[in-house]
A = this chain, B = another copy of it.
Amino acid sequence: MRLTRYFLPVTKETPADAQIISHKLMLRAGLVRQTAAGIYAWLPLGYRVLRKIEQIVREEQDRSGAIELLMPTLQSADLWRESGRYDAYGPEMLRITDRHDREMLYGPTNEEMITAIFRDNARSYRDLPRSLYHIQWKFRDEVRPRFGVMRGREFLMKDAYSFDMDEAGARASYNRMFVAYLNTFARMGLRAIPMQADTGPIGGDLSHEFIILAPSGESDVFYHANWERPADLSSVDFDDAAALQAIVSGHTADYAATDEKRDPAREAEAGEALRQSRGIEVGHIFYFGTKYSGAMGLKLQGPDGAEVVPHMGSYGVGVSRLMGAIIEASHDDKGIIWPDAVAPYAVGIVNMRDNDPACTAAADALYAKLNAAGVETLYDDRSLSGGQKLATMDVIGLPWQIVIGPKGLERGVVELKRRATGETIELAPDEAVARLAAK
């Protein structure tokens, strides 16, 4: 994409209410703009990142055997009366009345709706186990929206729901999702620590939050120093319940808990290795048994003819919030440093002298070759000073930059810079294309 044809409003100033670094950088880098309190428009560069995050979430859900569907944003209040949550849910639920005076709401979550869909369409134990998920916009009417997309009102969430014959089956489904989450966050370059957590308004008796460590986090967390090791991907057969349990056990052996779930005995045991930090929740998983299936009359015919009330769990990932979390975890004083997997473009080309025909010809040729090689490229072909272009590239944080200037070209080289380290090398343009195409 050529910047002369793109829409990238990079700015220097940020409003006073942008307190945390990810919020500031998302505004400065032209990723989002607020359109109402806690509601954001995703500008082209930001939307590319959001779609990459969403796609990683989707791929790992699919790999774990979960099946994608899409439920609508608006729900009927009657559905929530069936579970008893319509009155219980506080003012964070956005309640709506339509033209026929029917009570509706903008879904903050979908336990009721998925339970009704499964109840009305599944028939027997043969429809178990199933995990169904969707990636859809939700609304929670936060009293004080803040931290940009981290605590917005309209936000994108992946929520999955599992249906099993019994508790043992539900725990296996829980474990599948637990491992899928480890892989999801690791692919984004994040160390997300699964912590025992309160179940809150969802209910149930087993729950983990997946938490990123960051000074701007909303809550205090306590964990063993072992968690400071980098995350790695789990290669596992999702049909192998024992292997999944082993991974889950391994990832819950070291102490980690939110403020509400601290365990003095285990903290004493950790001793000097106990760490305290602030954390950002990026995922939350729950097992809640028959809470919704029981209340809403979801019953299936069992293998012996008797009725089965499925055991359920629900599993959330804050897709739009992840963009803020990734920036909190990966930036420097010049701007964002995107992990390769979620970068909006892999490389940016900076033409230092757009009024020098040789530089422009070289930059144009390089852009064409990178596109032909399938490398996602943003080309700064604007009439601006080289310094302004370099500053833009640093703030938007593409993983690689190729800088083209007249002195290098005389020697037949361009400069390839890794944004994360600042390391630069000189090499021939074709060699730069070959290196980037191989990644």
In the bound assembly, the distance between CA atoms of A358 and B74 in angstroms comes to: 49
Cα distance A130–B122 in the bound complex, in angstroms: 48
Which A residues, 137 to 159, have Cβ-Cβ distances below 8 Å to chain B? Answer: 137, 139, 141, 143, 153-154
Which candidate, A95-103, A293-301, A335-343, is the interface stretch facing chain B?
Answer: A95-103
Q: Is the CB of A47 within 8 A of B33?
A: no
CB <8 Å contact, B76 and A7: no
- Asked if A35 and B75 sit within 8 Å, CB to CB, the answer is yes
Q: What's the Cα separation between A83 and B216 when bound, in Å?
A: 39
What's the Cα separation between A40 and B96 when bound, in Å?
Answer: 17
Question: Residue A9 contacts which of B44, B102, B122 (CB distance < 8 angstroms)?
Answer: B122
List chain B residues, Cβ under 8 A from A106: 74, 96
Q: In the complex, which of the residues B33, B39, B139, B382 contacts A120, with contact meaning CB atoms closer than 8 Å?
A: B33
Chain B residues with CB below 8 A from A117, complex form: 33, 35, 41, 43
A412: interface (CB < 8 Å): no
Tell me the bound Cα distance from A127 to B44 in angstroms: 14
Determine the chain B residues whose CB is within 8 A of the CB of A122 once the complex forms.
7, 9
Q: Mark A61-81, 1 if CB is under 8 A from B, else 0.
A: 000010111111111100100
Q: So how many copies of this chain end up in the complex?
A: 2
CA gap between A70 and B45 in the complex, in Å: 10
A-B contact pairs, 5 of them (CB 8 A): A6-B67, A36-B72, A43-B117, A44-B132, A72-B154
Please, how many angstroms separate the alpha-carbon atoms of A12 and B31 in the complex?
48
Are A116 and B35 neighbours in the complex by a CB distance under 8 Å? yes
Q: How many residues of A contact B (CB 8 A)?
A: 58
Query: Does A84 have its Cβ within 8 Å of any Cβ on chain B?
Result: no
Known contacts A94-B96, A96-B94: A35-B71 contact under CB 8 Å = yes
CA distance A73 to B138 in the complex (A): 10
B69 in contact with A42 (CB, 8 Å):
yes
Q: Are the CB atoms of B91 and A9 closer together than 8 Å?
A: no
**CB distance A139 to B7 under 8 Å?**
no
How far does the Cβ of A376 sit from chain B's closest Cβ, in whole Å? 13
